[in-house]
Amino acid sequence: MGLLSLGAGVAIGYLIGTKTGKNRVDEGAEHAKKSAQEIWEREEVQDFVSMASDTATRVTHEVAESAKKAAKSASEALRRAADKADEAQGMMADVVDEAEDTVEDKAQKLTDEKDSGSAN
């Protein structure tokens, strides 16, 4: 394997290092560039590029719409939860007020009983 790598390295060095080699590399690069440009300009390639672009645009819009719907749904769920929390807080305040009234009534009764018992 090492000898093969060394041979490939020498061959590449020779091609790149000599004027003929440079010309061949330049010609090869120019040929590859020209071939790539010809392929790019082919109708079926451009049709595919156009189709891929249209698909990407459509998918982007669909994802954006889905994100909007998800955000709206989450917002509505949070609003409902906040409303329920407000409702629960109101109910708790009512229970506290009722408990307070009950305690005050009991305390008043005890005070009244104590006062009526010490008056006798």
Each residue's pLDDT tens digit, 72-97: 999 999 899 989 998 888 889 888 88
13 assigned to some structural domain? yes
Going by pLDDT thresholds of 50, 70 and 90, the confidence category of residue 69 is very high
Domain count, the chain: 1
68, two tokens = 């909007």
What pLDDT score does 37 carry?
94
Of residues 109 and 21, the one with the higher pLDDT is 109
Q: Which range marks the domain in which residue 31 is found?
A: 1-41
Of residues 7 and 74, the one with the higher pLDDT is 74
User: How far is Cα 29 from Cα 15, in angstroms, rounded to an integer?
Assistant: 13
Query: Which amino acid appears at position 59 of this protein?
Result: V
Of residues 32 and 117, the one with the higher pLDDT is 32
How many CB atoms neighbour CB 112 within 10 A? 10
7 assigned to some structural domain? yes
20, two tokens = 């003929």
10-48 CB burial, b ≥16 within 10 A, e <16: eeeeeeeeeeeeeeeeeeeeeeeeeeeeeeeeeeeeeee
pLDDT of 120 higher than 60 = no
